[in-house]
Amino acid sequence: MSKTILVATEKPFAAAAVEEIKAAVAKHEGYELKLLEKYTENAQLLEAVKEADAMIIRSDKATKEVIDASDKLKVIVRAGAGYDNIDLEAATAKGVIAMNTPGQNSNAVAELAFGMMLNIARGKFNGKAGTELRKKKLGIHAYGNVGKYVAQIAKGFGMEVFAFDPFVDDAAIKADGITPISTVEELYSSCQYVSLHIPANEKTKNSIHKGLMKSMPKGGVLVNTARKEVVCEEGLKIALAERKDFKYLSDIAPVCADELVEKFGDQVLFTPKKMGAQTAEANINAGVAGVEQIVAYFENGDTTFQVNK
C-alpha cells in the first residue's frame, strides 16, 4: 500500500512549488500526495491527518490534538526553520518523528529583512529625503542560516557587520568577515540596526526587553523576521514612547500591532501577513526538501533533520 504525504498549509506554498512538490512525490514509487490548502477550521486538518503517513506543514499548528488524530502518522516535517508550532512532547509520546528543513528558506527571510530596512530608511517611500544603509552598523542577533545571509547582503550594502551568537565560535564568525560581539547588551548598544534571528522558546520569549531596545544608538532600528514572542510587547511600547527616534519593523505583527500603528505611526512597520519565506524559491526548496526527507526516512530510516531526539 502506498504511503500518503499530506501537505497541510493554511498559508499555501507558491503554485510553482506545489508543482515541484507533486513532481518530487511522483518520482518515488509508493507515495501519494494529499493537499490541504487554505483550510479555515482545525477540524479540516484533524480530518486530513487521519489518513496521512507523513505531513508537511509551514507555520500550521501540529498540536497534540492533531498528532493524536492519526494512528498512521510517522513523520511531521516543518517546511522551514522554526518548529515552535509542533508539540514536540506529543510527537515523541506518539513515536512521531518531527523534522525541519534548515536553511531552505533562509535567503528569502534575509532579503525581506533588507526590504523592510530600506523601506523605513526611505521614510516608507514618502517622497522625502531618507537615509542610507551604507556605513551604518548592523548587529545580527543569532548567526544561523538566516543570519549568515543577512551578513552577506549587508556587506554588499557596505554596512559594518557585527554578530552575537553564544552558540557559534568567534572564529567561524570572523572567517565570514563579520565582527563577533560577546554580549547581547553590547550588540544592541553599539549597532544602529539590529536584525533578530533567534528562535522562540522558553528561554528567548520576551528576552528582547525595554532596556535592550532603549540602549540602541540614535535612530535605532530593530528588525524582527524571527518570531513575535521574543520581543516583550510592554517593553516595546515603552521604548517607542520614550525614544521617538527608535523604530520597530516586524514580519510577525505583535498582538498589540493596531495600537502601535495608531500611537506610533511611522516608528513601526508590519507586513500584513508573515512574508519572510513567501517566495517561490523558498517554497520550492523547503517543500521539496520535506518530501525528500520523508522518503529518506521511510526508505532508509534517515533522521538527520529530526528535532525531537
Binding site for ligand 3PG (CB under 6 A): 11, 58-59, 80-82, 105, 274, 276-277
Q: Closest separation between CB of residue 286 and ligand 3PG, Å?
A: 7
Instruction: Check: CB of residue 73 under 8 Å from CB of residue 49.
Output: yes
**Residues whose CB is less than 8 angstroms from the CB of residue 25 and which lie 6 or more positions away in sequence, other chains included:** 5, 31, 32, 33, 291
User: How far is the C-alpha of 20 from the C-alpha of 40, rounded, in Å?
Assistant: 25
C-alpha cell at 78: 516543518
Among 55, 223, 206, 93, CA closest to 154: 223
Q: Smallest distance from the beta carbon of 256 to ligand 3PG, in angstroms?
A: 20
Of 269 and 282, nearer to ligand 3PG (C-beta) is 282
Please give the residue whose beta carbon sits closest to ligand 3PG in the complex.
Answer: 80
Residues 45 and 37: beta-carbon distance below 8 Å? no
Instruction: Kindly tell me which of 145 and 192 has the beta carbon lying closer to ligand 3PG.
Output: 145
Q: Minimum Å distance from CB 47 to ligand 3PG?
A: 22
Q: CB-wise, 239 or 288, nearer to ligand 3PG?
A: 288
| Smallest distance, ligand 3PG to C-beta of residue 177, A | 26
* Of residues 75 and 86, the one with the C-beta less far from ligand 3PG: 86
Q: Give the C-alpha separation, 116 to 44, whole Å.
A: 35
Task: Give the DSSP letter of residue 85.
Answer: T
Q: Which of residues 80 and 254 has its CB atom nearest to ligand 3PG in the complex?
A: 80
- Closest contact distance (angstroms) between CB of 210 and ligand 3PG is 25
